[in-house]
């Protein structure tokens, strides 16, 4: 299911918790800026940098991450016009001003809207100077979605200089629409004034038109203002709102098999355990990055400081660790921006989307991918900021760089099987070699595939172990490679959990695959082997929980990562014990087909796994490896 559909349904139920019956009736639901921003971001509409905070400390932390000056806005579904309620304060320069503004906004909202429920505070970067326009959509009973453009900010009601066109709009329609307004003259250099980025306005209107056509459940959208910067510098939506019409047809989505249940906040790569550990390993405790991140996170600082005193990965096998490090050293070279990304060729090679998808898939297999699928790139799965840079090593984007992949509409997910013989030695050193080999192959394949696409004239970026800008597992699920498992990894019918991923994102028009249902959710509900054998207790044995808008088995990443450092390896026991991770024999392929069928027999298959193979015991390492030192 398209993630925006699930987000809209979930939010409509949350905003009006009076049970399902009301959703089935025609009703209007107003979304404030903090909800509307998430929907606009899915369609690649540029937004001023910002986040919603639920309390003052969280808001202060966001302000420090974004950097002063900032804008503070009260977020409430009961306050449509924040300016009228004095719930917006701009130009905040420091923590003291921030605290004063925070208290002031709460007091102002209570004074003007005593019964309003405050959902939090939006903290946003103070945008640069520019001209302001309004872009919106209103759904007409007779004509359908009507797209609006005109002078923005507070002047829209004063001058009423607006134009309307019926969606869907072409580029020519949008250009004609803009030229019909007086605002266009101002933006296009009226009497020697500077020219503004009209192309950026056209792009926003085109994306809003598609959003309106794709989703009839949206009654109105308003972006006011869209601040437009000088020519070539883009535009940013500074405020927005949405009115949702709850149609009866939305009810059908409640029975969809997808686990996306709510609005998904983009993940900040700086919050990954690996990235946090890198602040000690590469930057050091006196660095600006370390101090900025851990200033308001004392518990996280204590956790990672403790880990830094334990063995590094491979530390128990010092004479063989070079096999592991050599592969990751080469992966780091393949992760520089000049390798993963580049400038497309000037002339585009044109293919129908179906033909282009076929060529891409077969080329990926030729380059070394064992599995490949193509899907729509959902922006929720892209990171918000760069976090893993190896200490801002040469060729990498700096720590904290804002990530924008909105120009890429397709993702090509590739799977690379791990050496099963080495994986069976988990949790000892050989499994690290299996990991390194699969990641090395995935990186080499991804950078070549991205370069191939760029040579055909399209933008393309490789994402692999050393330089991901997205969450590879949910992207791979969308591309139809496999399903999310209890262990938190991707399960495929072919290789179980014994697989590593890389992705290429692109603007090349491609035919998309559908997500697959291979029975994993039902199987994992009845199988607990990975949770039972997990030495750290990181894998949950209970039911799914709602985490960031998704129903999933939530892995305790701190417990998992701690065990890595205790053991000196990346463990891998969950992969080795999974009934799906088996050799590609006729027998096991047949069992995978049966396991894909939902039913009580799945529980019996999990039980039979333990009876047939017994409790997990690591295999002996190959003779060419030295014994691992054990505590």
Please state, in angstroms and rounded to a whole number, the distance separating the CA atoms of residues 337 and 102.
Answer: 40
When the candidates are 3.90.550.10, 3.40.140.10, 3.40.50.300, 3.30.470.20, the CATH number that belongs to 47-235 is: 3.30.470.20
The domain limits of the chain are 47-235, 269-613
pLDDT of residue 333: 95
pLDDT of residue 257: 42
pLDDT of residue 612: 81
Query: Model confidence at 578, in pLDDT bands (50, 70, 90)?
Result: very high
Please state, in angstroms and rounded to a whole number, the distance separating the CA atoms of residues 412 and 403.
Answer: 18
Per mean pLDDT, which of 244-253, 488-497, 606-615 is the most reliable? 488-497
Q: What percentage of residues in the chain have a pLDDT greater than 70?
A: 91
Cβ–Cβ < 8 Å for 141, 90: no
SS3 120: strand
Please state, in angstroms and rounded to a whole number, the distance separating the CA atoms of residues 516 and 68.
Answer: 45
pLDDT in tens, 621-631: 999 998 766 55
114 CB-near residues (< 8 Å, 6+ apart): none
HEC string of 12-80 equals HHHHCCCCHHHCCCCCEEEECHHHHHHHHHHCCCCECCEEEECCHHHHHHHHHHHCCCEEEEEECCCCC
pLDDT of residue 449: 98
pLDDT in tens, 27-63: 457 788 888 888 898 888 999 999 998 888 889 999 9
* DSSP 3-state percent helix, strand, coil across the chain (nearest 5): 40, 20, 40
51 CB-near residues (< 8 Å, 6+ apart): 62, 66, 122, 123
Query: Model confidence at 503, in pLDDT bands (50, 70, 90)?
Result: very high
pLDDT of residue 191: 78
- pLDDT at residue 18 is higher than 70: no
- pLDDT at residue 574 is higher than 80: yes
pLDDT of residue 23: 33
Please state, in angstroms and rounded to a whole number, the distance separating the CA atoms of residues 135 and 225.
Answer: 8
- pLDDT at residue 356 is higher than 90: yes
Which of 525, 517, 487, 488 minimizes the C-alpha distance to 606? 525
pLDDT in tens, 2-13: 444 444 444 443
* Inter-helix orientation angle 56-66/95-112, to 10°: 130
- pLDDT at residue 530 is higher than 50: yes
Please state, in angstroms and rounded to a whole number, the distance separating the CA atoms of residues 572 and 14.
Answer: 39
- pLDDT at residue 258 is higher than 80: no
Q: What percentage of residues in the chain have a pLDDT greater than 90?
A: 62
pLDDT of residue 225: 92
Instruction: Compute the average pLDDT of residues 232-237.
Output: 95
DSSP-derived pairing of the beta strands 240-245 and 218-228: antiparallel
Instruction: Compute the average pLDDT of residues 151-178.
Output: 80
Instruction: Compute the average pLDDT of residues 571-575.
Output: 95
pLDDT of residue 174: 93
Please state, in angstroms and rounded to a whole number, the distance separating the CA atoms of residues 567 and 530.
Answer: 18
pLDDT of residue 19: 32
Lowest mean pLDDT among 157-161, 574-578, 584-588: 157-161
pLDDT of residue 305: 93
Q: Write out the DSSP string of 252-320.
A: GGGG-S--B-S--PPPPGGGSHHHHHHIIIII-TTSHHHHHHHTT-HHHHHHHHHHTTSPPTTTT-TTT
Q: In DSSP terms, which residues pair with 123 in a beta bridge?
A: 51, 72
Report DSSP state, residue 628.
P
Q: Write out the DSSP string of 312-377.
A: PTTTT-TTTHHHHHHHHHHHHHTTSHHHH--PPPSSPPP--HHHHHHHHHHHHHHHT-SEEEEEE-
pLDDT of residue 112: 85
Which of 45, 3, 91, 406 minimizes the C-alpha distance to 222? 45
| Cα-trace Rg, the chain | 26
Instruction: Compute the average pLDDT of residues 520-541.
Output: 94
Report DSSP state, residue 157.
H
Cβ–Cβ < 8 Å for 211, 221: yes
Cβ–Cβ < 8 Å for 440, 329: no
CB atoms within 10 A of CB 194: 12
pLDDT of residue 265: 80
Q: Which helix (H) or strand (E) holds 241?
A: strand 240-245
pLDDT in tens, 126-153: 999 999 999 999 988 778 899 999 987 5
HEC string of 477-502 equals HHCCCCEECCCCCEEECCCECCEEEE
pLDDT in tens, 422-437: 999 999 999 999 999 9
pLDDT in tens, 376-403: 998 889 999 999 999 999 999 999 999 9
HEC string of 381-417 equals HECCECCCCCCCCCCCCCCCCECCCCCCCEEEEEEEE
pLDDT of residue 54: 84
pLDDT of residue 256: 32
Cβ–Cβ < 8 Å for 261, 546: yes
- pLDDT at residue 16 is higher than 50: no
Which phi and psi angles does 205 have, rounded to 5°? -65, -40
pLDDT of residue 154: 54
pLDDT of residue 11: 45
- pLDDT at residue 156 is higher than 70: no
Please state, in angstroms and rounded to a whole number, the distance separating the CA atoms of residues 223 and 26.
Answer: 24
pLDDT of residue 262: 62
- pLDDT at residue 416 is higher than 90: yes
Lowest mean pLDDT among 20-24, 193-197, 578-582: 20-24
Mean pLDDT of the chain: 87
Query: Model confidence at 312, in pLDDT bands (50, 70, 90)?
Result: confident
pLDDT of residue 101: 93
- pLDDT at residue 487 is higher than 50: yes
* C-alpha distance from residue 39 to each of 32, 106, 263, 622 (Å): 11, 26, 9, 52
């Amino acid at each position: 299911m398209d993630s925006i559909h699930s987000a809209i349904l979930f939010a409509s139920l949350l905003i009006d918790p009076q049970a399902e019956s009301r959703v089935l009736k025609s009703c209007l639901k107003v979304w404030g800026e903090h909800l509307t921003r998430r929907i606009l971001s899915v369609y690649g509409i540029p937004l001023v940098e910002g986040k919603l905070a639920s309390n003052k400390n969280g808001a202060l932390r966001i302000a420090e991450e974004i950097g002063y000056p900032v804008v503070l806005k009260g977020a409430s579904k009961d306050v449509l016009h924040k300016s009228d309620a004095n719930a917006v304060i701009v130009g905040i320069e420091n923590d003291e001003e921030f605290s004063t503004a925070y208290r002031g906004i709460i007091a102002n909202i209570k004074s003007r809207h005593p019964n309003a429920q405050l959902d939090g505070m939006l903290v946003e970067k103070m945008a640069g100077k520019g001209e302001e326009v309004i872009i919106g959509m209103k759904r007409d009973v007779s004509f359908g979605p009507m797209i609006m453009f005109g002078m923005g900010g507070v002047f829209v009601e004063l001058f009423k200089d607006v134009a309307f066109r019926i969606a869907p709009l072409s580029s020519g329609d949008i250009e004609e629409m803009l030229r019909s307004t007086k605002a266009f003259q101002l933006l296009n250099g009226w009497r020697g004034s500077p020219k503004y980025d009209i192309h950026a306005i056209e792009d926003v209107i085109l994306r809003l038109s598609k959003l309106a056509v794709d989703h009839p459940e949206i009654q109105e959208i308003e972006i006011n203002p869209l601040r437009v910067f000088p020519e070539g510098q883009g535009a940013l939506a500074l405020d927005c709102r949405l009115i949702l019409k709850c149609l009866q047809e939305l009810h059908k989505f409640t029975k969809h098999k997808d686990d996306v249940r709510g609005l998904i906040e983009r993940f900040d790569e700086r919050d990954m355990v690996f990235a946090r550990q890198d602040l000690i390993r590469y930057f050091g405790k006196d660095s600006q990055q370390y101090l900025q991140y851990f200033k308001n996170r004392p518990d996280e600082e204590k956790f990672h400081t403790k880990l830094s005193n334990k063995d590094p990965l491979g530390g128990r096998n010092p004479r063989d660790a070079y096999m592991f490090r050599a592969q990751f050293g080469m992966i780091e070279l393949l992760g520089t921006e000049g390798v993963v990304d580049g400038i497309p060729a000037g002339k585009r090679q044109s293919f129908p989307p179906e033909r282009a998808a076929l060529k891409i898939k077969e080329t990926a297999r030729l380059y070394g991918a064992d599995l490949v699928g193509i899907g729509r790139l959902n922006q929720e799965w892209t990171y918000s900021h760069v976090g893993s840079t190896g200490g801002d090593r040469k060729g990498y984007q700096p720590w904290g760089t804002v990530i924008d992949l909105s120009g890429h509409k397709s993702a090509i997910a590739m799977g690379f099987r791990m050496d099963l013989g080495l994986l069976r030695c988990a949790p000892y050193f050989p499994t690290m070699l299996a990991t390194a080999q699969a990641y090395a192959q995935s990186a080499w394949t991804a950078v070549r595939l991205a370069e191939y696409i760029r040579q055909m004239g399209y933008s393309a970026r490789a994402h692999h172990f050393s330089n991901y800008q997205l969450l590879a597992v949910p992207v791979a699920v969308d591309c139809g490679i496999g399903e999310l498992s209890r262990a938190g990894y991707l399960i495929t019918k072919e290789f179980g959990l014994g697989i590593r991923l890389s992705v290429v994102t692109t603007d090349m028009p491609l035919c998309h695959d559908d997500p697959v249902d291979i029975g994993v959710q039902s199987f994992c509900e009845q199988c607990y082997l990975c949770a039972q054998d997990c030495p750290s207790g990181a894998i949950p044995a209970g039911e799914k929980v709602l985490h960031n808008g998704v129903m999933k088995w939530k892995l305790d990443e701190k417990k998992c990562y701690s065990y890595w450092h205790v053991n000196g390896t990346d463990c891998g026991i969950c992969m080795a014990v999974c009934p799906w991770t088996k050799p590609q024999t006729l027998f096991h392929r047949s069992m995978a087909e049966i396991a894909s069928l939902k039913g009580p027999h799945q529980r019996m298959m999990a039980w039979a796994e333990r009876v047939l193979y017994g409790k997990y015991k690591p295999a002996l390492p190959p003779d060419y490896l030295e014994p691992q030192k054990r505590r």
